[in-house]
Structure 1
């Protein structure tokens, strides 16, 4: 099942040029990717729905762990209710790769997300 999920996500990303380059995502051209720019890109790709295996609009810990990333589910579950909604999911992804914790991704952080990260296709 895990291989099918990973393949599905990779296929969704590969079928569009949305993840082609950092500069394509940097809508205002300031050399940084804001959360809003990131959210628009990720939401357009259906990433959250790809991880929501039972299509209930939430990601539980089993669904989260299905892809095998070494991330702490409890850290992503900001309201501590045992589920991730889409906001918690995208915040979790964004903060995971915001290495310098300045609230913006630079092209290096974008590359990290793509190099064996969530955007690696």
Structure 2
């Protein structure tokens, strides 16, 4: 298994009564300490954040075990902090696990993107509405 999870990851999580939500995560793995960010669509009607949530990631990796906290910035629409625990597969191309909030939990899957981070960042910028 590779020692480093740094890169761009395409993800999904499943939440009861809502279904599957996609997200894009950029992870930075520095000796097992994980950081990074996530962008995902707002899934609630009347979303006040312009349709997209941004969140930061802080956590760690030890062998195949991964855990991190996702903090929405800014919090709102009922979102704040979500706890993730998962397992990295042998070739470090997937992280599979569970997320949890008080009284609520579900599954998630992250797959390492085959696109370079720069091309994905460029694609994301071109999707943003002109200001």
Q: TM-score, normalised by structure 2?
A: 0.28
More contact order relative to length (CA 8 Å, sep ≥ 6): 1
> As a proportion of its length, which structure holds more helix?
1
Give 1 or 2 for the bigger CA radius of gyration: 2
> As a proportion of its length, which structure holds more strand?
2
Q: TM-score, normalised by structure 1?
A: 0.29
